[in-house]
């Protein structure tokens, strides 16, 4: 692999890892399109099927989410018990999603992925405009942040597991990690503190990505050379994202991500409709 190829793949890993960690998304929404269009970026790379892009993305998300989870853990922002509860639902969903991913060909995958990215764009755009719901959940918790502000949040175990199952399935189908879907539910429905929602989401993503990746390994959906090349950048990006979370204006970070999502969604939809 040439030096140019390594630089491109490292930058892809850093970019995906940083944005995924800062917003609690996991980075897959950047990784999958990048992997899918890798042959057009680097000469000599053979065509990559949707299944290979998804499986490889999930394997890399393990690295990104592990990196950021360790950083968030030092800041004591992760609600471990809640993350494990979400994982009860996301684990079987990840297995189902890996199997469902085999149903797509390149044309249908790019079309549905483009539509899915537009959905992610809408969620990222409007999630902060949604007011947290006041619900009387059976399980309630409190958290005091570094500024002394007290948050009260909670959930129903059964609803949390159902939501996590859907998120786990979608994340394994599209190789996205699932945070883009899970975090809005945590913020709006369960009233999680924002930074805790992102941090807890990263632990859920780590665990469910491991399960989904194992399934994709069994199915032969991993490009190991790409994993090895992108992994260092993904690790650095995960660390960078968790360090920058809360320090950079969130609206600017999300604005950049929205523009990237819009560009990638249009390109994927164009490929799915015209190619």
234 vs 31: CA distance, rounded Å? 10
Where residue 131 falls among pLDDT bands split at 50, 70, 90?
low
Place of tokens 């890892």: 17
With residue 161 as reference, give the H or E element that holds it: helix 157-174
Where residue 84 falls among pLDDT bands split at 50, 70, 90?
very high
**Which residues, 6+ apart, have CB-to-CB distance to 127 below 8 Å?**
183, 184, 187, 188
57 vs 260: CA distance, rounded Å? 17
What is residue 173's predicted lDDT score, i.e. its pLDDT? 87
Contact 259, 251 (CB under 8 A): no
Report the half-sphere exposure of 11 (CA within 13 A, side-chain side). 9
What is residue 96's predicted lDDT score, i.e. its pLDDT? 92
Residue 149 CB neighbours (<10 A): 9
pLDDT digits (tens, 9 = 90+) for 175-227: 877 777 788 788 888 888 878 888 898 899 889 889 888 888 988 888 888 88
- Computed over every residue of the chain, the mean pLDDT equals 81
Provide the phi-psi class of 113: left if phi over 0, else alpha when psi is between -120 and 50, else beta. Answer: alpha
Does 89 score more than 90 pLDDT? yes
Does 92 score more than 90 pLDDT? yes
Output 88 or 251, whichever has higher pLDDT.
88
Does 118 score more than 90 pLDDT? no
Contact 268, 113 (CB under 8 A): yes
Reading the block at residue 199, the tokens are 């941090």
Contact 163, 128 (CB under 8 A): no
| β-pair partners for 172 | none
Output 38 or 81, whichever has higher pLDDT.
81
Contact 175, 55 (CB under 8 A): yes
User: Is 131 strand, coil or helix?
Assistant: coil
Reading the block at residue 139, the tokens are 């399980």
Does 74 score more than 70 pLDDT? yes
Helix axes 28-36, 3-23, angle to 10 degrees: 150
What is residue 246's predicted lDDT score, i.e. its pLDDT? 61
């Amino acid at each position: 692999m040439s030096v140019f190829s390594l630089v491109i793949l490292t930058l892809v890993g850093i970019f995906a890892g940083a944005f995924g960690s800062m917003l609690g998304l996991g980075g897959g929404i950047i990784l999958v399109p990048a992997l899918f269009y890798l042959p057009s970026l680097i000469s000599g790379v053979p065509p990559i099927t949707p299944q290979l892009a998804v499986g490889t993305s999930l394997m890399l998300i393990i690295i990104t989410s592990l990196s950021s989870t360790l950083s968030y853990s030092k800041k004591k922002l992760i609600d471990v018990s809640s993350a494990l509860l979400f994982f009860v639902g996301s684990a079987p969903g990840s297995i189902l999603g890996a199997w469902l991913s085999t149903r797509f060909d390149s044309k249908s995958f790019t079309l549905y992925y483009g539509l899915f990215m537009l959905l992610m764009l809408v969620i990222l755009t409007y999630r902060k405009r949604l007011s947290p719901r006041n619900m009387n959940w059976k399980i309630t918790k409190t958290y005091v942040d570094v500024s002394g502000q007290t948050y009260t949040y909670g959930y129903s175990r059964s609803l949390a597991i159902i939501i996590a199952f859907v998120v786990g399935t979608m994340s394994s189908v599209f190789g996205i990690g699932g945070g883009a879907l899970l975090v809005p539910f945590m913020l709006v429905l369960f009233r999680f503190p924002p930074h805790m929602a992102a941090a807890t989401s990263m632990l859920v993503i780590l665990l469910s990505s491991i399960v989904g990746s194992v399934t994709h390994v069994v199915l032969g959906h991993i490009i190991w050379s790409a994993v090895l090349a992108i992994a260092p950048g993904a690790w650095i990006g995960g660390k960078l994202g968790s360090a920058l979370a809360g320090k950079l204006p969130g609206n600017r970070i999300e604005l950049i991500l929205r523009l990237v999502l819009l560009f990638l969604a249009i390109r994927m939809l164009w490929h799915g409709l015209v190619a």
